[in-house]
Every structure is written in structure tokens, then in C-alpha cells.
């Protein structure tokens, strides 16, 4: 039985990937870090131990900032695959904790790859690095593909650039089967509520059921290429099953602004947003009731913004036969439906649901 180690198990992608790997009959070591509060909500459906199909789930504790914990896990389980999904993944937050972000996202990746090398696992352990479209930053080409020059615009993106090149160097220098998945934004009902799509679907649903009055956002004119996380973990898996290691863009090739995302979500909830004012005074108002539903809040602006991302994933589609199943409409529908249920539950029970 093949063993896969997943770092970042408690995150959006970690939870979907673990489900995928278990469905493939793997022994999965799900790495979590010490937390003073409960953070396993996304994994609540998954029990440790042998599953019905013979797959096995094991939880192990480690931290990307702690070399010894990583080497202990690598040495104990000698995984056939490592999916490095753990990161301080919030771009806005990275401006406030740049050194911490570099420690986890840049050096953390180095620590894992060094662990593989020092334990002599170079020929047996395949490695996936969660690289990002944020590497393209101030974009030099439209759409962005594997050959597009990088131009990072945040401490997060700079840290991920270090991790990207470290992955390439360990592939070329030590012969490790190491791949970078350069993934464009991908969302789901399990997306953290700090990211804009989920902040909108969750906030709008709470407005609909009367738990919240207004949604406060930063730059609503930036544009993103949003896919569904379920499709993107399939792509990660395919990269490590291929005969040769390489770097791949995963993207939809379709792009929307945050403003469009807002309009679609609110219209799905029977509101019609009209925009009045400009800059930080701009407001999104419901045409029928005249109520202000969206306000601009400077606190959510970033010192550097990435205004435009749109990916070309033809390499992954032709080489890996990666075929995403979700459309933009089905992504929005999935998230809105989920968050309406969450908001209704919160209203009924007077509590906040974690995921």
C-alpha cells in the first residue's frame, strides 16, 4: 500500500486531498500542528484507522517551523508521496507577519526537502509543492502559464517564490521527483472565511437570514481566476502519478472581478446590487429596499495589490489529462447553498459554525 503524507491537513485543500487519497486506497499520514483550540472541523467526517476500502488514516503532529518534527514523521512513515500544502496562506496577513510567513512558507518547504534528502528518501519519495498564481503578481503576460516570468507582490508570494525554486533545485540537484503545482485561486464551501469568496457567500447568507447588516470589503475591482478546490486536488494527485516530475499551472482560464462575484451572490439571494459613490465612499445598495449591503473598508486594502490573474492550464490538461468538473456557476451555487444552510443553523441555534 502506498503511503502519502499531507501537510496542511486541517486546511481547505488538505481535507479534500485526504478524502481523494483515501478513496485511492492509500495509507494517509495527515500532518496537523499543535493548536490550543479545536481546528479539525474540515476533517470531522474522517476517522483515524482503517477505512471500509482498506485505506488507512493516521494523524501525526508536526510543524513546518520545526525540522526535528518533520524528520521524525518522514523517518517513521517513509512516505511514497509528500503533498506540502501547509502554509501561512493569507496574502493580506503576510504583510503583518512577513518573517513568520517566510519561516513557514519558504524555509518550511526547504526543511521538508532537506528531510527527504538527509534520510536518503530522494529516490523513493515524490514531492508536491503548493505553489501559487501569486508568483505572477504584477503580471507580465496574459494569460499566465508555466513560462510566464514571476513578479511577486507580497511577503507571501516572495516566500512561495523561494519554495518554488527550492523545489526545482532539489529536483535538478538531487533527482527528487518534485513538482510545483502553480494553482490559481480555488474555493469551496470549506474555504476559510478570511478569503474573499467565502467572506462574501457567508456574509451575504447571514444578511439574508438577518444575522448581519452589511459586508465590508477592500478592493472589489481586482480580478481572479476562481476554480473549485475539489478539481484542484485531482490535479495535485495527477502530478505525482505522472512518469516524470514537472511544474504545472492549474486554472480555469475564466476571470471575474470581486464586484461581479458580489453581484452574482447577492442576486442568487434575491437582492439586486446597485453601486453608488466612488473610492472608499462607494456602497452596494439593494435596489428594492434601498438598504446598504456592501461598504468599502480601507482596513482590507493591501500595501501591494495583485489586480489581475487568469491562467492557461493547457499543459496540465494535455499532459496530465486534468479535466475540471465544476463551472464558475456551480462553484458559486455550491458555496451559496452551503452558507445559507450554515446561516440558518446559526440563527436557529444562536451560535457560529467554524467552517
Q: Which residue, 71 or 207, is less far from ligand NAP as judged by CB?
A: 71
Q: Does residue number 218 form part of the binding site for ligand G4F (CB under 6 A)?
A: yes
**End-to-end CA distance of the chain, in Å?**
32
Cα 209 to Cα 344: distance, rounded to the nearest angstrom? 7
Per the CB < 8 A criterion, the answer to whether 11 and 86 are in contact is yes
In the complex, what is the shortest distance from the CB of residue 220 to ligand G4F, in angstroms, rounded to a whole number?
6
CB-based contacts of 140: which residues, under 8 Å, 6+ apart? 148, 149, 151
Per the CB < 8 A criterion, the answer to whether 182 and 132 are in contact is yes
65 in catalytic set: no
Contact letters for ligand NAP, residues 26-65 (x by CB under 6 A): -------x-x---x-----------------------xxx
When CB distances to ligand NAP are compared, the closest residue is 11
In the complex, what is the shortest distance from the CB of residue 80 to ligand G4F, in angstroms, rounded to a whole number?
26
263 in catalytic set: no
Number of H helices, E strands in the chain: 11, 16
Q: Which does 11 bind (CB under 5 to 8 A by kind): ligand NAP, ligand G4F, none?
A: ligand NAP
Q: Which residue, 177 or 226, is less far from ligand NAP as judged by CB?
A: 226
Q: Spot the catalytic one: 83, 156, 232, 271.
A: 156
CB-based contacts of 232: which residues, under 8 Å, 6+ apart? 13, 181, 183, 186, 250, 324
* Binding residue (CB under 6 A) for ligand NAP from 88, 125, 144, 167: 88
Phi, psi of 157 (to 5 degrees): -65, -35
Q: Does residue number 186 form part of the binding site for ligand NAP (CB under 6 A)?
A: yes
Strands (E), the chain: 3-7, 27-32, 49-50, 56-61, 81-84, 126-132, 178-183, 186-187, 215-217, 223-224, 227-228, 248-250, 256-257, 273-276, 283-286, 292-296
Which cell numbers hold the place of 332?
Answer: 458559486
Q: Spot the catalytic one: 7, 10, 109, 132.
A: 132
Q: Which does 51 bind (CB under 5 to 8 A by kind): ligand NAP, ligand G4F, none?
A: none
Contact letters for ligand G4F, residues 184-213 (x by CB under 6 A): xx--------xxx--x--------------
Task: Please provide the size of the chain in residues.
Answer: 355
* Binding residue (CB under 6 A) for ligand NAP from 85, 121, 158, 238: 85
Q: Does residue number 180 form part of the binding site for ligand G4F (CB under 6 A)?
A: no
Q: Which residue, 250 or 343, is less far from ligand NAP as judged by CB?
A: 250
Per the CB < 8 A criterion, the answer to whether 166 and 178 are in contact is no
Which residues make up the interface to ligand G4F (CB under 6 A)? Answer: 89, 91-92, 132-134, 184-185, 194-196, 199, 217-220, 222, 224, 258, 300, 302, 305-306, 309
Which residues make up the interface to ligand NAP (CB under 6 A)? Answer: 7-14, 33, 35, 39, 63-65, 85-89, 104, 130, 132, 183, 185-186, 192
Catalytically active residues are: 132, 134, 156
Amino acid at each position: 500500500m502506498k503511503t502519502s503524507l499531507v501537510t496542511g491537513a486541517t486546511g481547505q485543500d488538505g481535507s479534500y486531498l485526504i478524502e481523494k487519497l483515501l478513496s485511492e486506497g492509500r495509507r494517509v499520514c495527515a500532518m496537523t500542528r499543535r493548536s490550543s483550540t479545536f481546528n479539525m472541523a474540515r476533517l470531522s467526517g474522517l476517522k483515524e484507522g482503517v477505512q471500509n476500502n482498506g485505506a488507512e488514516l493516521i494523524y501525526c503532529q508536526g510543524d513546518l517551523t520545526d525540522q526535528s518534527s518533520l524528520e521524525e514523521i518522514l523517518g517513521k512513515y517513509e512516505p511514497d508521496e509528500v503533498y506540502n500544502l501547509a502554509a501561512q496562506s493569507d496574502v493580506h496577513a503576510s504583510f503583518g507577519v512577513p518573517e513568520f510567513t517566510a519561516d513557514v512558507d519558504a524555509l518550511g518547504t526547504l526543511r521538508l526537502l532537506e528531510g527527504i534528502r538527509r534520510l536518503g528518501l530522494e529516490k523513493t519519495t515524490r514531492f508536491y509543492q503548493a505553489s501559487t498564481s501569486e508568483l505572477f503578481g504584477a503580471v507580465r503576460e496574459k494569460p499566465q502559464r508555466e513560462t510566464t516570468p514571476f513578479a511577486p507582490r507580497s511577503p507571501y508570494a516572495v516566500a512561495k517564490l523561494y519554495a518554488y525554486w527550492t523545489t526545482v533545485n532539489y529536483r535538478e540537484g538531487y533527482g527528487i521527483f518534485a513538482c510545483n503545482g502553480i494553482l490559481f485561486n480555488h474555493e469551496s464551501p470549506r474555504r476559510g472565511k478570511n478569503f474573499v469568496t467565502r467572506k462574501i457567500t457567508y456574509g451575504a447568507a447571514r444578511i439574508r437570514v438577518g444575522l448581519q447588516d452589511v459586508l465590508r470589503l477592500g478592493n472589489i475591482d481586482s480580478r481572479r481566476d476562481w476554480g473549485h478546490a475539489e478539481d484542484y486536488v485531482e490535479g495535485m494527485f495527477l502530478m505525482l502519478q505522472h512518469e516524470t516530475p514537472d511544474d504545472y499551472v492549474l486554472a480555469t482560464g475564466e476571470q471575474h472581478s470581486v464586484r461581479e462575484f458580489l453581484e452574482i451572490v447577492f442576486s442568487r439571494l434575491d437582492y439586486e446590487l446597485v453601486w453608488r459613490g466612488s473610492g472608499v465612499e462607494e456602497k452596494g445598495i439593494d435596489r428594492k429596499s434601498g438598504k446598504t449591503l456592501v461598504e468599502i473598508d480601507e482596513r482590507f486594502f493591501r500595501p501591494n495589490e495583485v489586480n489581475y490573474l487568469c491562467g492557461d492550464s493547457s499543459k496540465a490538461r494535455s499532459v496530465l489529462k486534468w479535466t475540471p468538473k465544476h463551472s464558475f456557476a456551480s462553484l458559486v451555487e455550491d458555496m451559496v447553498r452551503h452558507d445559507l444552510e450554515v446561516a440558518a443553523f446559526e440563527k436557529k441555534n444562536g451560535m457560529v459554525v467554524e467552517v
